[in-house]
Amino acid sequence: MSYISLSDKDKKEMLARIGISSMDELLISVPDHIKLKKSLRLLPPLSEPELVRHFQELGDKNSYSHYLSFLGAGSYDHFIPAVVDYLSSRGEFVSPYTPYQAEVSQGTLQIMFEFQTLICQLTGLDIANASLYEGATAAAEAVLMAHRLKEKPKVLVARSLHPQYREVIKTYVCNLPIKAEELDCASDGGLDLDDLKKKLAEGVSGVVVQSPNFFGAGEDLRAAAELAHSHQALFIVVVAEAASLGLFQAPGILGADIVTGEAQSFGLPPSFGGPFLGFMACAKEFVRQLPGRIAGQTVDVEGKRGFVLTLATREQHIRRERATSNICTNQALCALRATVFLETLGQEGLKELAWQNVQKANYALGKLTGLKGVRRKFSRPVFNEFVCEFPKDWDGIHRSLKKKGIVGGLGLGELYPELRNCALFCVTEVHRKEDIDRLVQAVEEALR
């Protein structure tokens, strides 16, 4: 099966129109010594029923979905209203390209414009782009943007930024005249503001802080922003759990110049890590340095409102090596899902979502730390993730939980050697009270 629509007669007539008699003649420009002499060694083709069965069997090799899971750390389980899947599966949204021809792409463009508006409202900033790949590369793009704006060699990156995001920033800057330096974590789980003060000497383009941070804790963004600004550095806030924006004050209001991160929580399933949805917003004066596509409002020749891709002189297809980013294809359909999700939940729904996450996580935190020997590691208030310290090695507890059908938290010992015997738990609105109680009981049994 190759989804071809030509009959044998069509092929023959078409070759005749071209003025040749065989397919081989069509490929005359490919030198013979390069041409494949035999056919590719691939699995024999499968029919639709065979293919479905094949993938069902592959799916059956994933036992994860049978477990009660409390994993978060950059990928979150939230309810997805049916309307999100339904509307985002429409061929009119799934099968067009980037809306280069605005007159036949108004649906995609208006939704991009609405998405940008929603991101601005959530982050408290003036301008947002139409999406980036995912949170980690978005954070790296923010670092590059800060460097373009300030041209100072250093960026400061909080140790409590998602470890994978820090790794990606490192990969991106190592070929450029930018040095990423780490900011310590204070004993309450937040950014060490004294360390920030110390490292904010001359030569810092930007300060990157995640909130809620990797440990689930809300940061004191206002204090960090003031420090950054007092040294002419840009303040970049990374939001990896976008659901927190339903309740936490908008980072832009607290002094962020750039807010970037991951919006997977808005209607995208965990999907084994992708496709996700990077986003970025910034203050108005920085718009010319913003990476990625942007939709803008305009009018047609009759004066009617319409939308187009705009400010393209920032982009690679016009500016080539001087572009703000190399990004071309982004995550448009993921942004559309987020737009349906946010517009369906609305003001009240998003707040309720965030509130339930806070309540359930704090209930779980209270119950777990009620167990003998289990400690709340950090005192800062948390959104839907928290760190517990256990009286013994986490791996043993993890194995014991798995036997009971539970994927507990994420052990932190490898990522943060100072957090040996610690694990990061994520509790969202998808967890019922009895799920949490089951986890707590299993941990209690594992500790006996």
Partner 1 sequence: MIREPLIFEISAKGKRGFSFPRLDVPAENDVLRGLPLRDGIEGFPQVSEIEVTRHFTRLSQTNHCIDIGFYPLGSCTMKYNPKLNEKIAALPAFASAHPLADADLVQGNLEILKTLEESLCEMTGMDAFTLQPAAGAHGELTGMMLIRACLTDRGNPRRFVLIPDSAHGTNPSSAHICGYNVREVKSNENGTIDVDSLAREMTDDVAALMVTNPNTLGIFEADICAISEIVHKKGGFIYMDGANMNALTGIARPREMLVDVIHLNLHKTFSTPHGGGGPGAGPVGVRKTLEPYLPVPVIGKKAGRYVLDFNRPKTIGRVRSFYGNFLVIVRALAYILTLGAEGLREMSEIAVLNANYIRKSLEGEYHLKYTCPTLHECVFSDKFQKEFGVQNIDIAKRLIDYGVHPPTMSFPLIVHGALMIEPTETESRRDLDMFIEAMKQIAREARENPELLKSAPHLSYVRRLDETRAARAPVLRWEPVSEAEK
Interacting residues with partner 1 between 97 and 116 (CB under 8 A): 97-108, 110-111, 113-114, 116
Closest to partner 1 by CB, 61 vs 448, is 61
Find the shortest distance in angstroms from Cβ 391 to partner 1: 23
Closest to partner 1 by CB, 202 vs 385, is 385
Interacting residues with partner 1 between 376 and 435 (CB under 8 A): 381-382, 402, 407, 410, 429, 432-433
Find the shortest distance in angstroms from Cβ 440 to partner 1: 12
Question: How far from 84 is each of 79, 126, 293, 333, 405, CA to CA, in Å?
Answer: 11, 27, 23, 11, 30
Of 221, 220, 216, which Cα lies nearest the Cα of 236? Answer: 221
Find the shortest distance in angstroms from Cβ 379 to partner 1: 10
Q: How far from chain centre, in Å, is Cα 165?
A: 10
Single out the residue of 213, 265, 356, 384 in contact with partner 1 (rule: CB under 8 A): 356
Give buried/exposed letters for 331-370 (b at 16+ CB in 10 A, else e). Answer: bbbbbbbbbbbbebbeeeebeebbebbbebbbbbbebbbe
Backbone angles phi, psi at 45, to 5 degrees: -60, 150
Backbone angles phi, psi at 173, to 5 degrees: -85, -15
Closest to partner 1 by CB, 232 vs 326, is 326
Evaluate whether 246 touches 78 at the Cβ level (below 8 Å).
Answer: no
Find the shortest distance in angstroms from Cβ 318 to partner 1: 7
Interacting residues with partner 1 between 309 and 348 (CB under 8 A): 310-313, 315-323, 325-334, 336, 340, 342-348
Binding mask 144-183 for partner 1 (x = CB under 8 A): x-----------------x-xx-xx-xxx-xxx-------
Return d(Cα 28, Cα 343) in angstroms, integer.
54
Interacting residues with partner 1 between 44 and 83 (CB under 8 A): 44-46, 48, 51-52, 54-65, 67, 69, 71, 73-75, 77, 79, 81, 83
Return d(Cα 448, Cα 439) in angstroms, integer.
14
Q: Does 8 contact partner 1 by CB under 8 A?
A: no
The type of residue at 12 is K
Lookup: tokens for 245: 């924006």
Interacting residues with partner 1 between 189 and 248 (CB under 8 A): 218, 221-222, 246-248
Residue position matching structure tokens 């009759």:
302
